[in-house]
């Protein structure tokens, strides 16, 4: 019996992470990335203190924003300033913080369920 979730065609799936980057839908990305269901892009953030409204502007400036943003904080989950969380909430985006590995796994599950999700992943 095959228990692999069916992934909608064209969706970005995180296949691996580590060694300073990610493998997403068959492509190796060095460094941190922003992952949306239909595309991935490099993200110039190397540590949690660099996560700001400005660094998240590619997500905030989308015409159709995701309802949920998973933030992979690196090796361990940590907190972000309340002002950042509030700015995202005002934009209609719920922020969930977790370690990068957890964010990768959670993103894959949610995108396979066709949920409105994006991931901001700090490389480990």
Quick: pLDDT tens for 7-16.
667 899 999 9
Q: Which structural domain, as residue segments, surrounds residue 92?
A: 14-121
Residue 52's alpha-carbon distances to 1, 19, 58, 64, 99, in angstroms, are 45, 24, 11, 20, 17
Give me the CATH number covering residue 109.
3.40.1230.10
Residue count of the chain, please give it. 124
- Is 5 inside a domain boundary? no
The verdict on residue 89 lying in a domain is yes
Tokens 């992943």, residue? 121
Are the C-beta atoms of residues 56 and 70 closer than 8 Å to each other?
no
Q: How many domains does the chain have?
A: 1
CA distance 55 to 88: 12
pLDDT digits (tens, 9 = 90+) for 22-77: 999 999 999 999 999 999 999 999 999 999 999 999 999 999 999 999 999 999 99
């Amino acid at each position: 019996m095959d228990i692999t979730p069916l992934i909608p065609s064209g969706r970005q799936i995180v296949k691996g992470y580590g060694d300073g980057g990610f493998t997403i839908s068959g492509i190796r990305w060095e460094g941190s990335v922003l992952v949306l269901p239909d595309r991935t892009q490099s993200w110039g953030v190397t540590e949690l203190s660099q996560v700001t409204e400005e660094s998240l502007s590619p997500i905030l400036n989308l015409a159709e924003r995701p309802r949920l943003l998973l933030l992979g904080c690196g090796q361990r989950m940590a907190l972000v300033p309340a002002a950042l969380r509030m700015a995202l909430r005002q934009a209609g985006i719920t922020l969930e913080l977790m370690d990068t590995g957890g964010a990768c796994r959670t993103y894959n599950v949610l995108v396979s369920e066709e949920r409105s999700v994006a991931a901001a992943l700090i490389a480990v």
